Amino acid sequence: MRTIFILLGFFHIWVTLKLTYNEAIVFKFTNAVCESYNESWFVYHKCRLKAVSRNKTTLNLNGTVLHPAYDIGLHAQIFKKANGYKPWVVKAELDICRFVKRAYNPVAKIVFNLFKEFSNFNHSCPYVGPQIVNGFYLRSNYLPHSIPTGDYLLSMTWLFDKRPQFSTKIYFIFTEDL
Ligand SMILES: *[C@@H]1O[C@H](CO)[C@@H](O)[C@H](O)[C@H]1NC(C)=O
Ligand SMILES: *[C@@H]1O[C@H](CO)[C@@H](O)[C@H](O)[C@H]1NC(C)=O
Ligand SMILES: *[C@@H]1O[C@H](CO)[C@@H](O)[C@H](O)[C@H]1NC(C)=O
Ligand SMILES: *[C@@H]1O[C@H](CO)[C@@H](O)[C@H](O)[C@H]1NC(C)=O
């Protein structure tokens, strides 16, 4: 579990250095790529970005867990683009069932709070049926001031019973126009 603290440290900076609204900052999704490795357990119906305005792009996901999942793991890693995407923070691992029961890491809780209003993810295990993220966008009042301008990829692999079932790759940009 030590690796998660590195990723969460990043989010900690993100939330503690909460900036006042700055129109010159662009922080938004640029692409989303979803893949199921086991369509007898998880299927995607939708994985799409929608450009709402110049500085706002929403992420919309719809998938179905076909059989109840009681043991859910998340492997996450952030990459930064520089001649291809290079690992930018060390890989993190989270036990989702443990986390939703009791948000055991306060920083992960803050991150979850950022998007839970756009999803139906906040309930205890098992997870079964529709999994929805609707209209999620990156908000400028949570800007990661310490992040250099660039293109990023948040790569997530979801595991049921310790085996990879599907992945969600989310690309975003952070640009500070000084
Ligand atoms: C794929 O899903 C099926 C149905 O739920 C499950 O029985 C099987 O173990 C899964 N395969 C892997 C490799 O996880
Ligand atoms: C998600 O996709 C399923 C299957 O296509 C559909 O029945 C359902 O209405 C969709 N839900 C939302 C919220 O888009
Ligand atoms: C999930 O929602 C419940 C009720 O709104 C809330 O008490 C709980 O703290 C939430 N869990 C997380 C992990 O945010
Ligand atoms: C986008 O810019 C408009 C005004 O230019 C502002 O009202 C809005 O809050 C911004 N949205 C985001 C997500 O930063």
The pTM for the full model equals 0.82
Domains of the chain by range and CATH? 26-176 (2.70.220.10)
Nearest CA to ligand 2 atom 6: 45
CA–CA distance, 117 with 12 (Å, rounded to integer): 20
Average pLDDT of the segment spanning 29-36? 97
Is the pLDDT at 161 greater than 60? The verdict is yes
Q: Which ligand is nearest to the CA of 38?
A: 1
**Which of the two residues, 19 and 57, has the higher pLDDT score?**
57
| Span from the CA of 131 to the centroid of ligand 2 (angstroms) | 9
What residues does ligand 2 touch, defined as CB less than 6 Å away? 45, 62, 130, 132
Q: Which of 55, 143, 177 to mutate to test the pocket of ligand 4 (most atoms within 8 A of CB)?
A: 55
String of b and e for 69-93 (b: at least 16 CB within 10 Å)? beebbbbbbbbbeeeebeebbeebb
The whole-number pLDDT of residue 81 equals 93
| Span from the CA of 61 to the centroid of ligand 4 (angstroms) | 22
Digit-coded pLDDT (tens) for 94-153: 999 999 988 886 666 766 777 888 999 889 999 999 999 999 998 766 655 557 889 999
Q: Of the candidates 1, 6, 9, 3, which has an alpha carbon nearest to the alpha carbon of residue 107?
A: 9
Given a contact cutoff of 8 angstroms between Cβ atoms, the answer to whether 136 and 112 are in contact is no
CB atoms within 10 A of CB 121: 14
CA 34 to chain centre: 12
The whole-number pLDDT of residue 20 equals 46
The continuous run of DSSP H or E covering 16 comes out as helix 2-16
Q: Which ligand is nearest to the CA of 67?
A: 1
Q: What are phi and psi of 109, to 5 degrees?
A: -65, -40
In this structure, the chain runs to a length of: 178
| Span from the CA of 19 to the centroid of ligand 2 (angstroms) | 36
Nearest CA to ligand 4 atom 10: 55
pLDDT band at 54 (very low <50, low <70, confident <90, very high): confident
Is the pLDDT at 7 greater than 60? The verdict is no
